[in-house]
Structure 1
Amino acid sequence: MLSSLAAGFGLGLSLIVAIGAQNLFVLRQGVRREHVLSVVAVCAVSDAVLIALGVSGIGAVVTAVPWLLDVVRWAGAAFLVGYGMLAARRALRPTGAALHVETEAPPAERGGRTMVATTTRTAAVLTCLALTWLNPHVYLDTVFLLGSVAATHGAERGVFGVGAAAASLVWFAALGYGARFLGRWLDSPGAWRVLDGVIALVMWGLAFSLVLPVFTG
């Protein structure tokens, strides 16, 4: 049982720890300290649901409906392009004051400077849901790959799935709450413009990678 749990944790962590749209969004929210608990919870619960679907064997059912992944592919690419455009706009035309993230000051004001929260909880949750559920790679990793490996563990495939879900929770919690320590390097408008510029480029690159197989395959 412990070996299946460890295997699930290790494989789940190896698939999640990569630069992607979801991780970048969690990182950004963590640095800004905006709705971190909600964002981490959405990511971890979503992954747990997808892993459960994969472990239950639903991947074989989805394989029989290939057009479903195509719908998700194009919807995800469109969303990533749009989110990248918003990030690029923030990079080119920043609004509001710099976000100061000192550790002990209250959220409304730190160091005598007013905080500017630009993302509502609803917007953060909806964005996180879109970045998760409109990403075909999420299905490939959790439903198909993890589901296939879990099947090799026989009666302990459920334990394997628990390990993978635990890895997701640990990673997103560490990323969301650990990101605040980057605040000292992002405590200026210029640094945030660079970060948003990187986010825009990554989002567009991911969108391109989603649709490229359609034209090359």
Structure 2
Amino acid sequence: MLHTPALLALVSGLALGLGLIVAIGAQNAFVLRQGLRLEHVTVVVAVCAVSDLALIAAGVLGAGSALSAVPWLIPAVCFGGAAFLLGYGFLAARRALRPGSLVPDAAGARTGLAVTVATCLALTWLNPHVYLDTVVLLGSTSATFGERRWEFAAGAGVASLLWFAGLGYGARLLRPVFARPTAWRVLDGVIALVMLGLGVSLVVRGFTG
């Protein structure tokens, strides 16, 4: 049974992890869409969760300090991430404006596993917010727990796993709503706005440092 300091660190990590991850963003929008399509859901959830675990571990090991010591790295990642998000946003906008391509079963087109994994990895690792939140913020916060920092990291990891699994597998409960093409148009419209908004914000951050 966990002692009180270890339990406190675990719960703190869980709470902060959920607080950072439970917000609509590029990664969450992608997981939601894959869950609604029932397409490679297990792989997508696994890629997101494992990536988060790796980033959390990197933060606890001090990668946040290393990122801060290389001033050109964050702007470079910002511009790369912005280019990808803007491109993905335009694709989502095009889907929203083309009703015939909205419902996967009607179009008969499914995305291949390799493309899905590559997109998921790009949305995760090319997003500077992931480094700022998961590596820098979680990493620096974990340092305040001293020898209990790994319990804190475990809590954050559990939060990530629970969230992505719930989002990916829980999305199927909304499929009756998304049986209508209009619902897919709205979803893709929202995804387009999120991606384009994030892309523009990254460009601004890249220039301002």
TM-score with structure 2 setting the length: 0.92
Map of 2:67 onto structure 1: 62
How many residues are paired up? 204
Tell me the amino acid that sits aligned with residue 187 of structure 1. Answer: A
Whole-angstrom CA distance in 2 between matches of 1:79 and 1:7:
33
Q: Kindly tell me: are residues 197 and 22 of structure 1, through their superposed partners in 2, closer, same or farther at Cα, counting changes over 3 Å?
A: same
Structure 1 vs Structure 2 CA RMSD: 1.6
Map of 2:50 onto structure 1: 45
Counterpart mapping for 1:16-55 below 5 A: 16-55=21-60
Map of 2:123 onto structure 1: 131
Map of 1:72 onto structure 2: 77
Deviations 1:161-191 (A, max 9, x none): 1110110000000000000111111102222
Higher helix content, 1 or 2: 2
Q: Is the CA contact (8 Å cut-off) linking 1:48 and 1:165 kept in structure 2?
A: yes
Q: Is the CA contact (8 Å cut-off) linking 1:99 and 1:188 kept in structure 2?
A: no
Tell me the amino acid that sits aligned with residue 59 of structure 2. Answer: G
Map of 1:180 onto structure 2: 172
Deviations 1:5-58 (A, max 9, x none): 111111001100001000000000001100000000000000000000000112
Q: Which moved more, 1:6-15 or 1:61-70?
A: 61-70
Q: Say yes or no: does 1:14 pair with 2:19.
A: yes
Counterpart mapping for 1:71-90 below 5 A: 71-90=76-95
Query: How far apart are residue 89 of structure 1 and its match?
Result: 1.2
Contiguous gaps of at least 5 residues in structure 1 = 101-113
Q: Kindly tell me: are residues 97 and 169 of structure 1, through their superposed partners in 2, closer, same or farther at Cα, counting changes over 3 Å?
A: closer
Q: Kindly tell me: are residues 16 and 176 of structure 1, through their superposed partners in 2, closer, same or farther at Cα, counting changes over 3 Å?
A: same
Query: How far apart are residue 216 of structure 1 and its match?
Result: 5.3
Query: How far apart are residue 97 of structure 1 and its match?
Result: 7.2
Q: Kindly tell me: are residues 64 and 215 of structure 1, through their superposed partners in 2, closer, same or farther at Cα, counting changes over 3 Å?
A: closer
Tell me the amino acid that sits aligned with residue 186 of structure 2. Answer: V
Contiguous gaps of at least 5 residues in structure 2 = 1-5
TM-score with structure 1 setting the length: 0.89
Map of 2:3 onto structure 1: none
Map of 1:151 onto structure 2: 143
Map of 2:203 onto structure 1: 211
Tell me the amino acid that sits aligned with residue 56 of structure 1. Answer: L
Q: State which of 92, 96, 105 in structure 2 corresponds to 1:91.
A: 96
